[in-house]
Amino acid sequence: MTTVDNLLIKIVNFSSPSIEEKIPTRDSRVLRSLVSSLSNKLFVTENQSKLLIKILRENCEKLSDFSEDIKTALVNPTWSHPFRYIEQIKKVYIVKNHDGDSSIILETNYVSETRKILQDIEKKCEGVQTLLPGKKFVVDLTEKNIVTVVDTLLPLEFEIDEKIQDYYDTIKSWSKPDVQAQFLISNIEHKNFQKHITDDLGIETSINRNIIHDRSVRYQYFTETEKTAGETLTEVIANRQKTRIYVDKKQHTVSDIMKSLIELRRFPLLVVFDTFVNSKYLENLQILSAALEDNGITDKIGIYFRLPNDDIGLQFNQLIKDKNYNSNLDADTKVAVVMSGKLPKFFLKNAWQPMSVLSLDTKMGLRHGKTSVYSNCCDCIVEWSDEPVTMEIKAVLK
For residue 363, what pLDDT band results from cuts at 50, 70 and 90? low
Q: Which of 287, 377, 304 is nearest to 347 (CA)?
A: 304
For 125-173, where are the E strands, in sequence order? 129-132, 136-140, 159-160
- Cα-Cα-Cα-Cα dihedral sign, residues 135, 139, 141, 143: negative
> Average pLDDT of the chain?
86
Question: Where is pLDDT greater, at 364 or 328?
Answer: 328
Helix (H) or strand (E) holding 34, with range, is helix 25-39
- Degrees to nearest 5, angle at CA 363 with 358 and 369: 75
User: Looking at the chain, how many residues does it have?
Assistant: 398
Residue 235 has pLDDT above 50, yes or no: yes
Classified as helix, coil or strand, 134 is coil
25/329 Cα distance (integer angstroms): 66
pLDDT at 365 over 70: no
pTM: 0.60
Does residue 14 register a pLDDT over 70? yes
Q: pLDDT for 174-232, tens place per residue?
A: 888 887 788 787 777 767 776 677 677 765 556 688 888 898 888 888 887 777 777 89
Cis preceding linkage at 82, omega within 30: no
242-398: in CATH 1.10.1060: no
In this predicted structure, what is the pLDDT of residue 395? Answer: 33
Q: 376 or 286: which carries more pLDDT confidence?
A: 286
Q: Identify which has the larger pLDDT, 113 or 372.
A: 372
**Domain coordinates in residue numbering, the chain:** 4-75, 90-173, 175-241, 242-398
Determine the Cα–Cα distance for residues 89 and 109; give it in Å rounded to an integer. 5
Cα–Cα distance between 397 and 103 in angstroms, integer? 9
The pLDDT value recorded for residue 392 is 42
Q: What's the CATH class of domain 90-173? A: alpha beta
Under 8 Å between Cβ of 11 and 66? yes
Residues contacting residue 249 through CB under 8 Å, at least 6 positions apart: 361, 384, 385, 386
Sheet bearing 269-273, strands edge to edge: 244-248, 381-385, 356-360, 269-273, 335-339, 301-303
How far is 321 from 128, CA to CA, in rounded Å?
Answer: 43
Whether the CB-CB separation of 135 and 110 falls below 8 Å is answered with: yes
Which carries the bigger pLDDT value, residue 34 or residue 325? 325
